[in-house]
Amino acid sequence: MDTEDDDLARSESPAKKQRCFVARQACDACRRKKTRCDEDIPCSLCKSQGIECHYSERKITKHEASYSSILQSLSRVERKIDSLRANQSSERSKSSDRTVEQTLDRSRNPSTLIALHNPAIDLQDSSPAVSPSSRPGNYPTPNPKEEQPLTLSFSAHLTLAWPGIVNLLPESVHDICKDVGLGYASSMEFCRPSLPILGGVNTTDWISQLSLGVFKELSYSYFRNFNTTFPILDQDVYFQRTLPAAMNCDFGVNIDTCTVLLVMALGSWGIDERRGLSNAASPVGSTRHRGNFDWTNQTDSIPGLAYLNEARRRMAFFDTDVGLQSCQIYLLASLFYAQAMRPGQWWMMANRASFCSSLFWKEDKAGSGRETPSRHSDSWERDMHSRLFWICVMFETLLADELDVPNTSLLHHCEYVPLPKFVAPTFLSTPSTPNCSSTDDAFFHYHFLSQIAHRILLTRIRDSLFISSQTNRYPTSTLEQELYHQLEQWKDQLPSDLAFDLQKPMQISGSPHILAVTAWLRARYIISRYHIRRPLMHRAFMNPASLTDTDIAKCGGTLSSIVEWTAIMEHVFAAGPCVPYRYFIYSQLFGQMVVVYGLSASPDRRLRRLIQREHCEWYRRALELIAVGAGQSEIIAKDYLIATLLYQKITVTSV
């Protein structure tokens, strides 16, 4: 008792410093004594005093409750959509039975048999001014014996292969794609050679000769430019454990060294070119890398490649490791390939990370039903795995859609894996890194959670409007409006620091990293509106006569979204060179340029009139953006060549 009274007296003393650490899950005894709890079961204090260690259930924060309500509302809407889809399916089944009976009576008349399988028969033709002779004559003819499913690809590149677009393409484009086909992106990407091994670098000891300032500068560059958006690493753990461990072993073959080298490789992209890269982004002792990078040389045009190569040499020794750090190094490597615009290798590394994450959550789910609590329950490691899981989900869904590659089993765990809470590590000597700001950390943490919610919504848009289209019918306007409503809910429920108003101009002053976050939130909202309208654009090219005046107005609104999204991407590129999603930005721009060309070349006069001079000006700006990426990817170079040919046709047909 005397000891407890003394502790209370000392805790109430005004001379005591205010605690900078607050445990997220402290036991009741430590809370009463206002002492730091190590969160073990039992904790060290209770164990030393021989008292019962009891933990109260932690209340969720207001922001956690906000994101939880978002996911719950999205889940309810998803069940509602599935119910509507099931009802429509049953109605179509009954209608199909009646159609079969009618077909048996009319089978002697081939014209009626074709009409029964024609999806356009259910759509009103509200354009009497369009004559049959003005429509393209190469529309696919429905098979009278078997109804073909309507397949809409979510890939931006495959917009070029839409049947309605193919009929409008000039012969010069067909000649360019004669050898690789219109769906050339995936096949060309996986035929690319690997990144080169730099010559002239002393691979024995040049890393250990680097100064501590170089490691810190490149590491801070990584955390400032990449980890704020993709929190793969914990900054405190990295500087207090990972980096010292790699230096103590003289950067030998261990997983800590792999992590440090990959961090330095990524950090090289964020170093200000005006300051030069002689001491940071280039290895010492190599005349080939001394001074600024020579951007005209294909080998030297990739910052941090020497660090990546050293990491690749060591990663081979851990190819069977599936722990937390292995998942982290695979994600770091995938992020480097994303920044280098190599989506094929990005997907391969992300696939390995997904495998590690799937194994962890499979084991965690199996252990959740046991009486004894999981050894990862409410721990820092489990929360880190939650971060890595959702990063893998975002990478995998994005790459699988654009490159037409298979998904892993990772998506099966989405309903089980919680959102990350960004738990602070309790096993470090000092609580936080002085270079960090808790306010900025919270800002980027909420942005990461908003990314997760948006990716879930975008996946639902894909599944509802594209993947689930198994009949010759386009999505209904009711389904579109429901998805629009969900998108508005995502926007309205953003925290106040992340909220934006499209009616107000975007800020262009302030921290470049915070401005980039604000720009990306706007861009995600606008590109989602564009994706919801893509099935309508597909129908506009396949059967323009079926469009109503309302549909034409929606197509015009889609063009406005395209112009607005591109303006935001110009701000993103101007904010700095660290843009891992560059390949997908260029891909979306290319798909949008194909859509604009298709409207300008449409046989329907109403669609052609949508293209104004401002859209030709937008096309020119988009070409300038893609021209930058054309020198870094053969796929983007082919996109640029095709888009240039289409632009020449737009200027002729729109005059």
Between the alpha carbon of residue 395 and those of residues 32, 336, 457, 517, the distances in Å are: 44, 13, 15, 18
| Cis check: omega of the bond before 42, within 30 degrees of 0 | yes
The answer to whether the beta carbons of residues 184 and 638 sit under 8 Å apart is yes
DSSP H helix total and E strand total for the chain: 24, 0
Question: What percentage of the chain exceeds 70 in pLDDT?
Answer: 73
Task: Write the CB contacts of 635 (distance below 8 Å, at least 6 apart in sequence).
Answer: 157, 184, 185, 188, 189
Question: Which of the four pLDDT bands, split at 50, 70 and 90, describes residue 469?
Answer: low
- For the segment 12-40, the average pLDDT, to the nearest whole number, is 67
Tokens of 295: 């951007």
Cβ atoms within 10 Å of 67's Cβ, excluding its own: 20
Question: Domain-by-domain residue ranges, the chain?
Answer: 101-192+470-480+500-655, 212-371+397-404
Indicate whether 3 pLDDT > 80. Answer: no
User: According to the model, what pLDDT value does residue 37 have?
Assistant: 86
Tokens of 273: 């070119």
Query: In whole angstroms, what is the distance from residue 400 CA to residue 395 CA?
Result: 8
- Radius of gyration of the chain from its Cα atoms, rounded to whole angstroms: 28
Question: What percentage of the chain exceeds 90 in pLDDT?
Answer: 49
Cβ atoms within 10 Å of 130's Cβ, excluding its own: 18
The answer to whether the beta carbons of residues 568 and 516 sit under 8 Å apart is no
> Tens of pLDDT along 183-202?
899 999 999 888 887 655 55
Q: Note the pTM of the prediction, 2 decimals.
A: 0.74
Indicate whether 95 pLDDT > 60. Answer: no
- For the segment 79-91, the average pLDDT, to the nearest whole number, is 65
Query: In whole angstroms, what is the distance from residue 168 CA to residue 597 CA?
Result: 9
Query: In whole angstroms, what is the distance from residue 473 CA to residue 539 CA?
Result: 10
Query: In whole angstroms, what is the distance from residue 166 CA to residue 381 CA?
Result: 51
- For the segment 48-72, the average pLDDT, to the nearest whole number, is 71
Q: For the chain, give the mean pLDDT.
A: 79
User: According to the model, what pLDDT value does residue 139 have?
Assistant: 36
Query: In whole angstroms, what is the distance from residue 21 CA to residue 25 CA?
Result: 12
- For the segment 368-374, the average pLDDT, to the nearest whole number, is 56
Indicate whether 17 pLDDT > 90. Answer: no
Question: Which of the four pLDDT bands, split at 50, 70 and 90, describes residue 430?
Answer: confident
